[in-house]
Structure 1
Amino acid sequence: MSFRFLHDELLEYQGQTAFVDVLIPWIEKNPAEIEWLRSIRLRTGRLIPNVSEDELWLLYAASRVFELLVLRFQSGRADGSDWPGPTISEDELVCFAERIGLDVMRPDRYSPFYHEIAALSCSPKTAQSPQIIKYHWPCLMLGPLLLIRAGVTVSASSSVMHPEVAGTSTLYWAHRRKTRPHHDLAHGWGHNSSWRTSFRRDYHLGDTFHFNVDGAVDLLGLRAESLNEEGLTPRERMELVANRCFVTVTKDNVDQFPYDDRFSLKAV
């Protein structure tokens, strides 16, 4: 019973105590799966750890489970469904995450590495940097490897985050959200084929954030004036990769393909 089957079981469950009826029994029946997940967090050092293609698929399945679990803390129906997600409290979400070896984090300072914009409040202050107003769900890490970002309400000035862009533009590397339009490489494939999607790996190693480390194109190696097929500059592509959505760029946000891009940035 891998994470893929746990995902499907959560979809099919119609009761009101998912933590007791689904998550706890899964933990008890899957020590090998949990041990493998914990082994990933131990692959640390200054360099990006190696993982196999099969492991990227398994990590993707694990991330899909948590995408379902955090639906309960979202509003809207951008996923095209009125289903609110599995019945689970935030304490139960944290308990499940910690029992399978994840680190639960709620950093005080906003960072696109750790935080997903679930909602945006426009601040009247000039050039106010993003401030976290509310946590909707926590960030989950496997040591230095990001599994799922925290969902937060952010306040920022319109010069820092465009009010008509940051909170509503398409969120990439996201299979299911209720809060905003989203896109994932598994979309459009059959049920079995969709699970052969590689997990996006982001690492915080030392003083550096590494975004989408398996991407083929290093954006830092491109000329500043160069444009990709969608008409984006390297800086605009960096914004999309780091935030997984546009926050200031007003160009088309629906038909982008950022999945091949990567770059690294000093952590502030």
Structure 2
Amino acid sequence: MKIISNPFELKEQLKGQKGSVGFVPTMGALHEGHLELIKNAKRENDFVVVSIFVNPTQFLEGEDLDKYPRRDEADKIICELAGVDILFFPSAQDIYANDEVKLEAPNVRGYILEGFTRPGHFSGVLTVVLKLLNIVSPAKAYFGKKDAQQLHLITLMVKQLFMSVEIVAVDTVRDKDGLAQSSRNVYLTPSQREAALKIPTALYSGAKLVSQGVVSVDEIRSKMLHLLSPLKVGYVAIVNRDFEPIKQIEIGNTIILIEALSGETRLLDNIWL
């Protein structure tokens, strides 16, 4: 496995690469969810690039940029054992200039849900993903369904900017207790983790109601909110896959999303129906 930090060096390295390139962009602190992305990339491509970059432009003032989990040496070992061909490990100075061209998230879908409480967050996400895709020029890039709004906006960006890359959505990986894997889970104390299990419980309950014929979004959301108590809930949202609000469940075109705090740790999860 080669480790490269300079974008131009990586572009040069990939220029003569034969076969398809699969790309997995990450912020490090790798877990089984990231490994699932890598496994998919390896299965579907001849060559795999993983990036590790904690992107400063998607963190708002007062958020956890400085304390975001970093396990650089362990991550390098994980990537090598997973059979990654190139690990792209840039610094902020490698990615950003002093006077940047800016990419703005959509005015509506970029400023609802996550974007409502974190205005500008998705502009930072889309900017860095665009840069990384331009550097690597992969055939396919892999993203987890757990960050569903992010996945939707990246897919939208690729479509609207006429980019030649396929965005592949990979199912959420969960621990045995049902909690969606996240780098931020390390922040949770045992009691906070126990409380956090209310999130997958509420999602499964919502899905069960649908299987029993309940289609009213208001009824499902109300029952889920009751199950989430006493967590501090940012939102329980039920939308179609274009992230438009709906009043009734549409099987095959619905996502139920939760954002909630357990302790001070902000957790996201969702279920696709």
Task: Identify the structure with the greater helix proportion.
Answer: 2
TM-score computed with the length of structure 2 as normaliser: 0.32
Question: What is the TM-score of this pair, normalised by structure 1?
Answer: 0.33
